[in-house]
């Protein structure tokens, strides 16, 4: 069995690569996870990608429910159990749906290398398979493109981190890319020291973006984010912070 883990970009079907389309059409089975009502739009993007690009009549689409992570306080323990539960779900699914010669495609949001545990989860599976990864455009690339900005300063470094970690300790890097932030962690920084380039729903019809000195646009980002989240029922946003004297 071969499993192809295919990066599909961060939400715009036009940002799916030729290699991804070719790999999709080479698959016998495409697995589409359903992650609960909040993420219904994300499953819909995967379906839309299949509608647009899948023209191999022999390829079957199999949708399945992903186990949910339990919300206990021991975060790392909960994640480890959750990953094991997903690996067991994949094992059962492939046992039922795939044969030893099948090629199975898993569509991963953005790129599988960035804040995505698919590759870690596959390593927990019991099944034997060859693994192939097809890279996709990440939300950070889409963000940098949206704001027409280079991610790094000249010869500078970029810290890629989460909202949770930004809240825990002030960063030392000139440029900080923040993902998975449920609560505007940039508010914990001294606003006068930073510029911010923020966007939500990158590549989708609902895309919104705000950029400027953090002291001037921080509140607007928070209000915009709250309103968008209330309107859509979910939000995915990301931002880059640049220390002001770093240029």
Ligand X SMILES: C[S@@+](CC[C@H](N)C(=O)[O-])C[C@H]1O[C@@H](n2cnc3c(N)ncnc32)[C@H](O)[C@@H]1O
- Name the site residues for ligand X (rule: CB under 6 A): 10-11, 109-111, 114-116, 138-139, 179-180, 199-203, 236-238
CB of 116 to ligand X, least distance (A): 4
Cβ closer to ligand X: 153 or 162?
A: 162
The token duo for 147 is 């704001």
Q: Which is nearer to ligand X, 98 or 189 (CB)?
A: 189
Contact 244, 51 (CB under 8 A): no
HSE-CB of 140 using CA atoms within 13 angstroms:
21
CA distances in angstroms from 220 to 10, 35, 69, 105, 223, listed in the order given: 24, 30, 32, 40, 5
Instruction: Compare residues 144 and 189 and give the one whose CB is closer to ligand X.
Output: 144
Q: How far is the CB of 146 from ligand X (least distance, A)?
A: 9
Mind giving me the DSSP string for 151-195? Answer: SS-TT--EEEEEHHHHHHS---SSEEEEES-SS-GGGGS-GGGEE
Q: List, in sequence order, every residue forming a beta bridge with 162; answer none if it has no partner.
A: 179
Q: Are the C-beta atoms of residues 16 and 39 closer than 8 Å to each other? A: no
User: Which phi and psi angles does 10 have, rounded to 5°?
Assistant: -95, 20
Nearer to ligand X, 62 or 180 (CB): 180
Task: Find the shortest distance in angstroms from Cβ 60 to ligand X.
Answer: 25
The Cα–Cα gap between 240 and 31 comes to: 32
DSSP 8-state secondary structure symbol assigned to residue 9 = B
Least gap, CB of 214 to ligand X (angstroms): 18
CB closer to ligand X out of 21 and 107 = 107
Nearest approach, Cβ of residue 156 and ligand X (Å): 21
* Rounded least distance, CB 204 to ligand X, Å: 6
Cβ nearer to ligand X, comparing 52 with 126: 52
| Sheet arrangement for strand 237-243 | 158-162, 175-179, 237-243, 194-200, 208-213
Residue 114 or 196 having the CB closest to ligand X: 114
For residue 8 the two structure tokens come to 């599909």
Q: How far is the CB of 28 from ligand X (least distance, A)?
A: 25
């Amino acid at each position: 069995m071969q499993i192809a883990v295919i990066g599909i970009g961060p939400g715009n079907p036009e940002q799916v690569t030729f290699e991804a389309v070719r790999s999709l059409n080479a698959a016998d089975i495409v697995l589409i996870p359903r992650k609960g009502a909040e993420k219904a739009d994300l499953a819909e993007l995967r379906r839309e990608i299949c509608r647009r690009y899948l023209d191999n009549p022999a390829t079957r689409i199999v949708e399945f429910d992903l186990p949910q992570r339990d919300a206990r306080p021991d975060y790392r323990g909960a994640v480890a159990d959750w990953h094991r539960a997903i690996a067991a779900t994949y094992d059962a699914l492939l046992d039922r749906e795939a044969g030893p010669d099948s090629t199975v495609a898993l569509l991963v949001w953005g790129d599988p290398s960035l804040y995505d545990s698919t590759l870690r989860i596959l390593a927990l599976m019991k099944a034997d398979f060859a693994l192939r990864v097809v890279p996709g455009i990440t939300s950070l690339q889409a963000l940098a493109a949206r704001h027409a900005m280079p991610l790094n300063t000249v010869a500078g470094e970029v810290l890629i981190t989460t909202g949770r970690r930004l809240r825990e300790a002030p960063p030392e890097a000139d440029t900080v890319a923040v993902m998975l932030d449920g609560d505007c962690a940039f508010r914990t920084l001294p606003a006068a020291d930073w510029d911010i380039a923020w966007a939500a729903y990158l590549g989708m019809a609902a895309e919104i973006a705000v950029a400027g000195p953090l002291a001037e646009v921080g509140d607007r980002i928070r209000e915009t984010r709250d309103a968008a989240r209330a309107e859509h029922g979910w939000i995915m946003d990301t931002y880059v912070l640049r220390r002001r004297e770093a240029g």
